[in-house]
Structure 1
Amino acid sequence: MITFDHFNINLLQTHEAEAFHDLINLNRARLEDFFAGTVAKTLTLDDTLKYCEEIQERIKAKSYFPYVITDTKTNTFVGLVDVKNIDWNVPKAELGYFIDSNYSGRGITSKAISMVIEALIETYQFKKLLCRVGSKNLGSINVALKNKFELEGTIRNDYRTTKGEIVDLNYYGRIF
């Protein structure tokens, strides 16, 4: 378990499906464009439970690591840092992240990312981590920059949102 201030960071467990569903549901509108897969797989509590069961298999296979951020004062999930697109040949991975809108702007995401990175480097010896961020998402860009990620480039027309808009993505990398 990773802890800071009054927050814990743990890998998502199947028995936490309801709390995970609640987090996604509260933030669904703002997550649908860049967390489309997660949003689509958590429409109902039953869907979320099935998704959490699938996630456990992916964790066992070391192909996906979803770290949930819990506010210990309220015992609620407030954010997610997911480690995906893992390439063990390098080894490298992509980080995705979001925080509940009620917790944004407090530095929680930046601190959580920092601590998850430490754990990933210590446990898995990743040589590179990257973040793909919508070029207009200033909050996520700032989180990447605060965590010493460097802009490697902007890929134009790289992603189609669920609303059908084609957007540019900034690629940020950090070498270890």
Structure 2
Amino acid sequence: MQLSFKDYHIEPIKISDAWPLCNFAVANEDRLKRYFPKTLRQNLAPGLSGFFVEKMVKSFNQKEAFLFTIKEKGSNQIAGLVYIKDLDWTKKQGEFAYCIGYQFEGQGVTTNAIKVLSDYAFDSLALKTLQIIVHKDNLASVSVAKNNNFIWIKTLENEHTPPGEAPLDMELYELYHEIE
């Protein structure tokens, strides 16, 4: 499976992504450490990335969590990652979590990736509700949610605790599948 938009393609994580994922994590360590500390910690060396990718491929195949890479066409460089996680198959609900490499920020890559993957989640996974949980000061991430018609629902108190920081309140946005 491969989804495309503009100069990028999105595909499920695969074993051969271990080394490029390590490169992505190390190059974007400052960007990942606050909101993706576990992903960062598990990808700071090629061997660690190998174990991480194996675990994520297994999770994908078992429909426990879906990790996608956003890659630049041509170079095949990882530009970003998108998770569909915290799946509740009874409620048909999942949460997006995403990060973009510093050199790709501000180009609409994440917004386009969430659009494409929202369609995939509704059409292929049969989810009915998609969530994005962001900190109010992460304006780029808030814009991704709003640009994809996610609606602000509420503030989640003490929802996320970054390493070495006090717990943060986070904002919950949701998008619902409309059957026409």
Range into which the TM-score falls when normalised by the shorter chain: over 0.9
What is the CA distance between 1:158 and its match in structure 2? 2.4
Letter in 1 for 2:103: N
Letter in 2 for 1:51: F
What is the CA distance between 1:14 and its match in structure 2? 1.1
Matched, 1:138 2:139: yes
What is the CA distance between 1:87 and its match in structure 2? 0.6
What is the CA distance between 1:118 and its match in structure 2? 0.8
SS of equivalent residue, structure 1 residue 16 = helix
The aligned counterpart of 1:172 is 173
Q: What 5-or-longer segments of structure 2 have no aligned partner?
A: none
The aligned counterpart of 1:87 is 88
Matched, 1:100 2:104: no
Contact 1:79/1:100, CA 8 A, preserved across alignment: yes
Q: State the alpha-carbon separation in 1 of the partners of residues 159 and 114 from structure 2.
A: 24
What is the CA distance between 1:36 and its match in structure 2? 1.4
What is the CA distance between 1:77 and its match in structure 2? 0.5
Q: State the alpha-carbon separation in 1 of the partners of residues 85 and 12 from structure 2.
A: 13
Q: State the alpha-carbon separation in 2 of the partners of residues 4 and 156 from structure 1.
A: 35
The aligned counterpart of 1:55 is 56
Larger CA deviation: 160-169 vs 80-89: 160-169
Q: State the alpha-carbon separation in 2 of the partners of residues 111 and 15 from structure 1.
A: 24
The superposition leaves residues 63-90 of structure 1 with CA deviations (integer Å, 9 ceiling, x where unpaired) of 1111100001322000111100001001
The aligned counterpart of 1:122 is 123
C-alpha RMSD over aligned residues? 1.0
What is the CA distance between 1:166 and its match in structure 2? 2.2
Q: State the alpha-carbon separation in 2 of the partners of residues 157 and 94 from structure 1.
A: 18
Contact 1:33/1:163, CA 8 A, preserved across alignment: no
Give me the TM-score of the superposition, normalised by structure 2. Answer: 0.94
Could you list the runs of 4 or more consecutive aligned residues of structure 1 that deviate by over 4 angstroms after TM superposition?
none
Q: State the alpha-carbon separation in 1 of the partners of residues 6 and 176 from structure 2.
A: 27
Letter in 2 for 1:155: L
What is the CA distance between 1:163 and its match in structure 2? 2.7
Give me the TM-score of the superposition, normalised by structure 1. Answer: 0.96
Letter in 2 for 1:24: A
Q: State the alpha-carbon separation in 2 of the partners of residues 157 and 125 from structure 1.
A: 30
Q: State the alpha-carbon separation in 1 of the partners of residues 41 and 123 from structure 2.
A: 33
State percent identity of aligned pairs: 24
The aligned counterpart of 1:150 is 151
Q: State the alpha-carbon separation in 2 of the partners of residues 40 and 113 from structure 1.
A: 24
The aligned counterpart of 2:46 is 45
The superposition leaves residues 110-138 of structure 1 with CA deviations (integer Å, 9 ceiling, x where unpaired) of 01110011111110110100011012100
Letter in 2 for 1:67: F
What is the CA distance between 1:157 and its match in structure 2? 2.7
